[in-house]
Amino acid sequence: MRKLFSFILCLALLLTAVSALADGTWGQEPVCFTDDDHPVYIYDDSSMPDGHLKIAIKFVDERPARQRQYFICDIQVKSGDVLTTAFFNPNNMKRTGVLEQIAQDNQAVLAVNCDFCGDHDSGVIIRNGRLYRAEKTYKLDMLMIDGDGNFSLHNGSRTQDDVKALGQQLLSQGIRHTIEFGPALVKDGQAVPFTTKADTDNKYVVSTRSTQLESRTAIGQISPNHYVIIVADGTRSSNDKWDGYSLQELQQMFLDCGAQTAINLDGGGSTKLYFNGQILNKPTSPTRQVSDALIFK
C-alpha cells in the first residue's frame, strides 16, 4: 500500500511538472529583477500539485538620496482566473472599505487598489463578466482583461464611444473585467506618449499630471500568465515625507520589466499593497476606503 501511495504521489508531481512546462512561463524565475536583486517577499506554490501562483516582490528604498521607495511585484499564475477583481460590496459598487478588508474577504494573496470606480459615474465597468455601468467618459483609459487573463487597452479619445454598444460588445468578446483609469503607460511593448494636451487639461490623466510626484499603483502584463505590479510611495506635497514618482518614471519601470501592456491605476492616498495578510508599503492615507480591488488569489 505504501509503495502504491508513493507511486501515485510521484505520478501526480510528474503530471504537475508536465503541465507547468505546457504553460510556458509558469514556474520560471522572475524577469523583473537583475542577478543582483533579491526579492524580500516570496509566495510560491508552483511545486504543489494544485499550485497556481508565484510571486516575488522586490523592495527599493531610495533614501537618503530621495525620500521615496517602491515595490515591484513579479507575478506568475497558472490560469487567468487567478487574477480577478472584487468590490467591497458586490451588491453596491458605491460602498467602500479599506483595501485589506476587501483582500481578506476574497482570500487574496496579493491585492492592490483598483480604479475606485465607485467614486465616479463614468466609463464602462465590467467585473467578473457582469456589466455594472456603461456611461460616457472623456478622460479615462480602459484596461480590458479577458477570460484567459490577457490585457488589452482602449485608450485615447473616448468621446465617440457608443458606450451601451461597447459594453455588450466587450461581454460578447469574453472580457471579464474592465478597469477605467489611466493613463495607459505601455501598449504593444512601446511607451504611450503623454501629450501636451493631456498634461494641459487632464484629458487622459486622472487627478494628476505626468510630471507630478505622487504615490503610484500600476499593473502590466509581460506575457501570458505573467504580470508586474508596481506600488510606489510618495506624495504631491514637497513639505511631506515622501517626494513621489512621476508617470514617466513609472512608465520606464514597466518598460525595463519587459511589459507589453501597462496602465496607471488609482494612486495618491489610495495606494496600498496587500500581501499575505499585511500592508507592505507606507500609505499616505492608511485608513482611506476604496470601492474595489485588483487581487491575485
In a domain, 18, yes or no: no
pLDDT band of residue 230 (cuts 50, 70, 90) is: very high
- The span from the CA of 229 to the CA of 57, in Å, is 9
DSSP assignment of 129-197: TEEEEEE--SS-EEEEEETT--EEEE-S--TT--HHHHHHHHHHTTEEEEEEE--EEEETTEEPP--HH
Angle 101-105-28 from CA coordinates, rounded to 5°: 100
Mean pLDDT of the residues in the chain: 86
In a domain, 10, yes or no: no
In a domain, 15, yes or no: no
* pTM (2 d.p.): 0.87
Judge whether 185 and 263 are in contact, CB under 8 Å: yes
Judge whether 248 and 186 are in contact, CB under 8 Å: no
pLDDT band of residue 241 (cuts 50, 70, 90) is: low
Cell numbers found for residue 89 = 460590496
pLDDT above 60 (res 139): yes
Please state whether the peptide bond connecting residue 224 to the residue before it is cis, i.e. omega within 30 degrees of 0: no
In a domain, 21, yes or no: no
Phi-psi region of 228 (alpha: psi -120 to 50; beta: other; left: phi over 0): beta
| Count of structural domains, the chain | 1
Q: Among 114, 112, 110, 113, which Cα is nearest to 44's?
A: 110
Judge whether 108 and 84 are in contact, CB under 8 Å: no
* pLDDT computed for residue 27 by the predictor: 63
In a domain, 7, yes or no: no
Angle 10-16-20 from CA coordinates, rounded to 5°: 145
C-alpha distances (whole Å) from 94 to each of 10, 90, 99, 133, 286 are: 49, 9, 14, 12, 20
User: What average pLDDT does the segment 158-168 reach?
Assistant: 94
- Which residues form the domain of 248? 28-296
* pLDDT computed for residue 181 by the predictor: 94
Q: Which residue has the cell 520560471?
A: 28
Model confidence over 94-123: pLDDT tens digits? 999 999 999 999 999 999 999 999 998 999
In a domain, 13, yes or no: no
Phi-psi region of 277 (alpha: psi -120 to 50; beta: other; left: phi over 0): left
In a domain, 37, yes or no: yes
Model confidence over 37-72: pLDDT tens digits? 778 999 999 888 999 999 999 999 998 888 899 999
Model confidence over 256-269: pLDDT tens digits? 999 999 999 999 99
- The span from the CA of 265 to the CA of 206, in Å, is 9
- The span from the CA of 120 to the CA of 118, in Å, is 6
CA 259 to chain centre: 12
Top pLDDT among 194 and 181 is at 181
- The span from the CA of 139 to the CA of 128, in Å, is 24
Please state whether the peptide bond connecting residue 90 to the residue before it is cis, i.e. omega within 30 degrees of 0: no
In a domain, 17, yes or no: no
